[in-house]
Amino acid sequence: MSDVAFDIGSIRKDAELIAAVVPRDGLFTLLRRAVQVPSGWVALVVGEEGERSAVAGRGEIAATHTSEVLFVRTGLLGLGFDVGSVTSSDEYRCDASVQLAVAVSGEAADLAGFRSAVLGHADRATLSSLKDHLADEVRRGVVTWARQHTAGELVDSADPGGFLGALREATGQACFSAGLRLDEDVTATFVSSALDTVRVEAERTAARRDRMAMDRQLRQAAEAARGEHLEHVEQMLGRLRQMAEASPEVSVAELIRQFGEDQRGQLYRSLLQCAAVAKRCTSVVVAAGDELVWLDPGSPASPTRRQRVELPGGGIRSLALVRDPNGRDLLAVGGARTVVLVDPARGQVRATFEWDVPEGKAVRSGINSLAVRGAHLLASHSGLGVRGWELDTGRGFDLLAERTQGARTVRCVQTDPRGDVWVSIDEAVIRLEGSDLTTAMPRVYAGGKSRIAALHVHLDEVYAGTEAGDVVHWSADRPEVCASVHGGRGGPCQSVHLSEIMGIRRLGFADGSDAVRELVLGDTVVDGYVAEGDRFEQAWWSSDRLAGVNAYRNRVYVWAVGQTGSPVGAADIGWLCSSQVRDVCLIVSDEAGEGVV
């Protein structure tokens, strides 16, 4: 036995070292008959008869009956792999790299497997040794994943959770044999110079197309101003067009900001009126009492059609146009605890869904918002929470039950183009992501000073109206930061909507004041859609029409977008139906057919 023992502290000084085998004679001396396992390490002690035991960090190993000791670093071990070139499903070459982390099990059998698989006959292992052990399997997983996805999906990291699953499947045997656990924090990076070239050219083409469209719209706006003998507006549009030609890299919104405030307002309205509209409003559908009333958006005074919808518990409470998995548009009509899906063209009831309520539970109000997400119908109810139904079987399920229990208001259920589900619960907005809504972890957007009354999600921006009349904003990726956009005037803000035309973003809202207002974001310009003598509680938007209901909820007004001075017309729903307006939706059409904005 040696008089000079192995310096056990030395293994902690080498950042690359992850394992070391030390024989008995190197570990113990005549004077040192026991050693302590360093913190952050685990030891596999092999006895004289081949028996094995694991000793955790700060544990003691005695010299008696010990043949050798394997020290292994615990905790996550970060590894980086340059996988090299792989081919996507659309035949683009991509350079791939992967960052992952593994941890070694502290069980004796797993430590023995680690020694056999990673060290072999060597007495030391480094991070490079571990990378060598996993390299082939990691590459195999990346190659398989790349073949199942387009270059765009790979470069944009469209499904990180799916990649983790694919990598686990590819490395499963190698990890199992070495007693390793793959951590969930895995990052795959794909770079494709060929795709970058294609995207840059596509962006240039889109920019040229947008510039041509902008020039055309400026010409049309100038011609319209000339036809209305608005020489000053025509001159401003001409100057704006010259500025755009001289500075093609500058957005129209930035160019307009160089004019005075009154001039900017006139320019915004002129461009809005002449903007190209891909989808036009074909019908305004009003829910009042137990009736659906169709109005012509160009002449809304008299109904074009009326339909009675039988709902138990006190008539219609909410209305939405939804699209089922087969691409059919249906009117979702919500009652106290019932939803029916109606064919808007034929008036036939396609399906009925009941909200199961515990016996004896008193429930006020009714279903206040509706949406469809894939094969599921979704509804919100301030007294019952959030409910989903399978469209094909009618099977129901509750969502966010713990969060909605005891809540005063549950409203505004909707989906975004990604398929995420959004809903408001009291002062917060909740987002559900992922394929399985029942197990999705909610993201909470908090910070509003009063309960949410309206919600609008536009791309990666979230806008909400509150009962205090405020309009607040969150970025979708920063739920903890709530910013005020507009201060309330005392009445609740029950509608909020964001539109963008030629790079000009307009935030519309209705808060019980004498106009449905639109703010030009990034500017001080405010427009108001007015009707003399009335105040407006709610509003609904399409690309070319805006509908608003007055404070008495007995009249529905329709305006042409951009023409704020006076409405196209109004329908006296109180006189027609002897009921108040409960909800409204705008049906739009394009070359692809009808749909909702």
Residues 254-287: tens digit of each pLDDT: 777 777 877 777 777 777 766 656 688 999 999 9
- The first and second tokens of residue 112, run together, are 């023995």
Beta strands across the sheet bearing 349-354: 318-323, 329-334, 338-342, 349-354
Q: What DSSP assignment string belongs to 323-370?
A: E-TTS-EEEEEE-SSEEEEE-TTT--EEEEEE----TT----S-EEEE
Query: pLDDT band for position 28 (50/70/90)?
Result: confident
- The pLDDT of residue 2 is 46
* Tens-digit pLDDT profile for residues 126-150: 999 999 999 999 999 999 999 999 9
* Tens-digit pLDDT profile for residues 371-395: 999 899 999 999 999 999 999 999 9
Which of 138-142, 353-357, 469-473, 561-565 shows the lowest mean pLDDT across its residues? 561-565
Which of 212-226, 234-248, 346-360, 550-564 shows the lowest mean pLDDT across its residues? 212-226
Residue with tokens 């000073």: 449
How far is Cα of residue 393 from the mean position of the Cα atoms in its chain? 27
- The first and second tokens of residue 352, run together, are 């009925």
Taking alpha carbons only, the member of 554, 543, 556 closest to residue 584 is 556
Torsion sign across C-alpha atoms 92, 94, 100, 105: positive
Residue with tokens 């009618």: 394
Q: What ranges in 386-490 are assigned the alpha helix state H?
A: 401-404
Residue 574 reports pLDDT greater than 50: yes
Provide the CB-side half-sphere exposure for 597 (13 A, CA). 27
- The pLDDT of residue 413 is 98
Angle at alpha carbon of residue 293, lines to 289 and 294, rounded to 5°: 165
Q: Are the C-beta atoms of residues 370 and 353 closer than 8 Å to each other? A: no
Phi, psi of 114, rounded to the nearest 5 degrees: -60, -45
Provide the CB-side half-sphere exposure for 140 (13 A, CA). 11
Residue 566 reports pLDDT greater than 70: yes
Mean pLDDT of 554-563: 93
- The pLDDT of residue 210 is 63
- The pLDDT of residue 373 is 93
- The pLDDT of residue 257 is 78
- The pLDDT of residue 218 is 60
Residue 7 reports pLDDT greater than 60: yes
Torsion sign across C-alpha atoms 374, 376, 379, 380: negative
Q: Where is pLDDT greater, at 265 or 401?
A: 401
Instruction: Specify the DSSP class assigned to residue 8.
Output: G
Query: pLDDT band for position 233 (50/70/90)?
Result: low
Phi, psi of 208, rounded to the nearest 5 degrees: -65, -40
Burial of 33 (0-12, 13-18, 19+ CB in 10 A): exposed
- The pLDDT of residue 6 is 66
Which of 6-15, 119-128, 501-510 shows the lowest mean pLDDT across its residues? 6-15
Written as one letter, the residue type at 7 is D
The Cα 431–Cα 284 span in angstroms is: 29
- The first and second tokens of residue 182, run together, are 């793959």
The Cα 431–Cα 112 span in angstroms is: 46
Written as one letter, the residue type at 460 is D
Would you give the end-to-end CA distance of the chain in angstroms?
84
Q: What is the 3-state secondary structure (H, E, C) of 52-89?
A: EEEECCCCEEECCCEEEEEEEECCCEEEEEEEEEEECC
The Cα 44–Cα 38 span in angstroms is: 13
Taking alpha carbons only, the member of 99, 79, 66 closest to residue 18 is 79
Residue 207 reports pLDDT greater than 70: no
Phi, psi of 223, rounded to the nearest 5 degrees: -65, -40
* Tens-digit pLDDT profile for residues 152-176: 999 988 677 788 989 999 999 999 9
Which of left, alpha, beta for 5 (phi over 0: left; psi -120 to 50: alpha)? beta
- The pLDDT of residue 513 is 93
The Cα 448–Cα 426 span in angstroms is: 9
Angle at alpha carbon of residue 497, lines to 586 and 270, rounded to 5°: 85
The Cα 27–Cα 1 span in angstroms is: 9
* Tens-digit pLDDT profile for residues 283-341: 999 999 999 999 999 999 999 999 999 898 779 999 999 998 888 899 999 999 999 99
SS3 586: strand
C-alpha pair distances (Å), 381 with each of 104, 261, 398, 457, 580? 49, 43, 12, 20, 20
- The pLDDT of residue 264 is 79
At a CB cut-off of 8 Å and minimum separation 6, what does 373 contact? 415, 419, 421, 437
Query: pLDDT band for position 591 (50/70/90)?
Result: very low
Q: Where is pLDDT greater, at 553 or 522?
A: 553
Taking alpha carbons only, the member of 362, 463, 352, 476 closest to residue 412 is 463
At a CB cut-off of 8 Å and minimum separation 6, what does 551 contact? 512, 534, 535, 536, 537
Report the chain's mean pLDDT, rounded to a whole number.
87
* Tens-digit pLDDT profile for residues 69-94: 999 999 899 999 999 999 999 999 99
Residue 117 reports pLDDT greater than 90: yes
At a CB cut-off of 8 Å and minimum separation 6, what does 136 contact? none
pTM for this model (two decimals):
0.65
Q: Are the C-beta atoms of residues 330 and 350 closer than 8 Å to each other? A: yes
Residue 592 reports pLDDT greater than 50: no
Q: Where is pLDDT greater, at 492 or 232?
A: 492
Q: What ranges in 251-292 are assigned the alpha helix state H?
A: 252-256, 261-274
Taking alpha carbons only, the member of 422, 473, 430, 431 closest to residue 448 is 473
Query: pLDDT band for position 593 (50/70/90)?
Result: very low
Query: pLDDT band for position 596 (50/70/90)?
Result: very low
Residue 468 reports pLDDT greater than 90: yes
Instruction: Specify the DSSP class assigned to residue 551.
Output: T
